[in-house]
Structure 1
Amino acid sequence: MANLSLETERRLSDFIFSICEGEKEVEQARINLSENRDFDPYSAFREIDRLGLGSISYLNIRDFLDKNRVSCTNQEIISMIKQYDSDSDTKLVLSEFHQLVLPSTSIVLRDLALQRGPYPRVTLDVEFLLARLLEKELSLQRRLELSRRDLALRPDFSVVSGFSQIDYPSTSFLTRDKLNDFLRRNGKIAFIEDLDALLRRVDVDGDERLSFSEFSDFLRTSEPVFSSPRKSPERSSPQRSSSPLRRTGSPNRTSSSFVANESSIRSSYIRSSPLTVSEESEVASVFLQQINLERDLNSAKKDVALCSDFNLLDVFQMFDINDAGYVGEFDLEDTLIFLGIRPSREEVNLLYKHYSVLNNRRLTYSEFSKLFTPKELEYSRILSNRTAYNVSRVERRRVFCSDTTYKLTRVLRLHLDSENVAESLRHRLARRPSFSMHEAFQAIDQDRNGYITFGEFQSLLDQHGIFATAKDVESLMDRYDKDKDGRVSYSEFLDEVTPKSPSKY
């Protein structure tokens, strides 16, 4: 077997399991959309294809998402198109759009949706559900790309070693049994529907197993926004009829038409930065990934906050099982294991360093509540108005229904993943030769007053062609502005970008 470290093997299993979970969430969004009687796929296609060209381009999707206030990056839309674009023309025709929006697990519901319409217009309910489906798909693309980059930074990881680690005994194919054994070895329980979801997303030829080329293609990271596009040989995917699980799509085709546009944006301003072009792009890339992490985390917090039985006191007592008035590291680990999450010691340490104000390896109720409270005030009000069930100590870990427990477990898993990736980004900056944190601070502090403001974060992102909403920039400020005075000092900036774990990421 290949020589991967235990930590790298665990991260590879996290990546594979996140495919299973993400595809299931996207499939549920497809089902929700198709169950609406006013939905027919052709009318939805026309709603996005406003010019009636018979295909949906990157700009069409961008316009639809902006209209429905869905935040995402250009690269995420490109990745989504590539996932379903079977002929590599960087557009989605109607048959490819069907693979994006229609369910795979219910042929009856799929056929029912195809028999409807066409209707003269798309209702607001259908438009909302379609926007939520695209948001779920983009969120999955974002998480997978971050995990790919995290794996690529591991010194002992390669695609060959990763494939060999799962392909045991070696047959040059990853079957359901091998994938299931690999996940179980790393503490993850995969059911039939999980493996179905994995194959729907990755199995291009529909043969119910993964070849090395399919595995390699799906693990390959996307092109950096400002790099020269890599030429990729065209390949066509088999149609969906080849497998009841397979979604038509090719996950790894490269588009150069949008990269040039981003490059022109970048060259349109006069540089006065102490950093090189490459170094400043790296800093902007780090900010973008931190924004993406916070988007996914906040979305998961909102999902669990809307569960009617969820409240902050009961979830706190779920972890503070001994009524100590705080959650210690061992309490956290013990409950996480009960929920099916086996965190490493480094992940727990990073989580406490982020949320424990006194850095005393304890989380008070107010500190712990931040793990589950969305940024939007309306959600905070909903949670503050809920009363606890105050169940007995024996029943604390089973106080919520299964759906709520699944959603709060997902929030915790995203917290650990977020801290992992954030630390990986810190190490990535620290490893750059001759990179200076002070010069990075000066590059953002454009007026040289010793502080980074909201506007200066926004300006740097704009200069690099990164679309970020006001909430996105606020999430950056929240991460860096430790004393919450509305600006980021050099010491606060240094504290966030300096690696916190001695382990090599």
Structure 2
Amino acid sequence: MLGYSSEKKLLALFEAIRDGEQYQESLRQRLCSKPGFAPYSAFMRIDRDGDEKLRTTEILDFFSDNREYTIRFSDCEQLIKYYDLDRDLCLSYQEFQQVILPCEDNGLRNLALGRAPFRVPRYEKLPVDMEYQLNSLMYSEIKFLRKLQDLRQDLALSYDFSTYAAFRTVDRYNYGAIDADSLKTFYKLNNKFLSDKESIAIVRRIDTDGDSKISYSEFSDFINNQLDKSALLYEAPKKLSESQANYGFKNDQSLLIRENNATPLKPAAQKKRSQTTEKKKRNQVQFERENEQINEENQEEEEEEAQPENQNDQSQEKIEAKNEESQEQEEENNNFQTPSKKNDDQNDNGLQFKSELKTAEKSDLDQSPDQNQSQMNKSELSVEKSRPSYSNYRVVNLIEDVLRLEKQLENSKQILALKSDFNLFDGFKVFDNLGLGYINELDFKKALSEIGIYATYDEVSLFFKRYDTDRDGRLRFSEFINALLPNDHYHASLVNRRSSNLVRSIQRDDCFTFSTRLQFQDLFRTHLSVERQLDLIRNKEKYISSSTFDQLDLNKDGRVTRFEVQKWLEDSRIYANQNDLDLLMKKFDSDKDGRISYSELADELRPRNPVY
């Protein structure tokens, strides 16, 4: 049985399991309740190499795609280790289902499993709402495992802690297993209340065989959190300090455990066999050579003692030869190689190398100071060429800002596209309430003010300059839908197949529900804000030079292709997926031929409103 303080720590661990498991269950149900969500599509989203296995690097890449940079490699390993039932250091699709599928609502679980999966390409993401919920679930699971690891370590550091004592503290009636009733009794003795749902959540988190009971082996694996042999081969164990090694700690487990009943006052008896164990670790040839060397040294010492004192010269020669042999043997022992004799040609090569060094030093000394200064200037010029120029930094910041703003606008479009009552016809009718078939700047500004958006004439002008492709001062339906349709094909197809709601509206946006009206207004606020910020960037740069275009045009053919943009972004340390590349190509490729010319790039980055 545990002491009072250790029992409170064990209770805190169970409370953390209860709260964390219930929160994880709510996230699983929220994810699976999304219309169209398929578990296998989520599995394909993370499995980038398509080998039906989720590895640590793939999970880490998933978090980095969603800008979760606080997740470490060890956190992903801990996640895989907890759900890895076959101990192959990766998660299969069946094991991944335990992470994302609900455990309490079997109807929702079967509904999610019955949905037909949709294909997720290698560099694509899930729809925005599904990607967000999946990232929230995985990130919360990582934080939950971190918290449990800290509480387990705090419990293990207690002076009276042992796994068996902790198990017997909960299993007070010696049933041999911990069930929901045992947990309720344990909580009751600590003046706490535990419901049936909460006790089942605790058992579900620790139980691995699915029998609704926690056996001693399951409890021990959960508390000690020991590493398997396969995991030890996968990651090298950490080195122990000298004090830990003296006190008999092992480093084959994640928690340091003393062995041989060692205490700080009674170190483990391992120093007696330290020399013999070190010799056994070496190979047999080296071990025999060391014994021969010791015997030869003993014989030579006996011979030297028997010789008269007048033979000093011979003894000195022997000592020098002996020192040379010992130095050669030490070098061979440090390299862990078998004894071998050096060839004469190697000695010749060594002498030749020394002579070359001497001639090189003489040539350096013979050079004049002007020649040395010219060589230094050439090296400095080569270093300066390797450094990125100031203009390159300007282009990187420019493209990064444009990409950030375009992604912000695309995100707002995708959120509006998920509204089931939104369609293109009613969206155009909000501004063309007279049915003229086109919108001018005055009508557009008036319609915005009636739906609660008060834009300036400059902002309206910037909006028209972007979407008025024929430059006639009017936006027709074919031009206006570019401001509503997202670039993502999935979200665009949702909007394109919807028809008009056929609602007679008193106000302009009464054709939509309240939530859709709010998102519709938010989209146009984002439009005006993005255009205003883009023009501020254009006025800051003032113009685009030919050298800037040459940085993007890698093959110097006068056209920038999609591959060249991707390669330039990678060299500039800007991460961009396929959707980001589509946004950039759509932004700068005005004639839609798949290539960006110098005139297209200059027209897009030229200031459009000198007022800003």
TM-score (norm 2): 0.41
Q: Rg bigger for which structure?
A: 2
| Greater relative contact order (CA < 8 Å, ≥ 6 in sequence) | 1
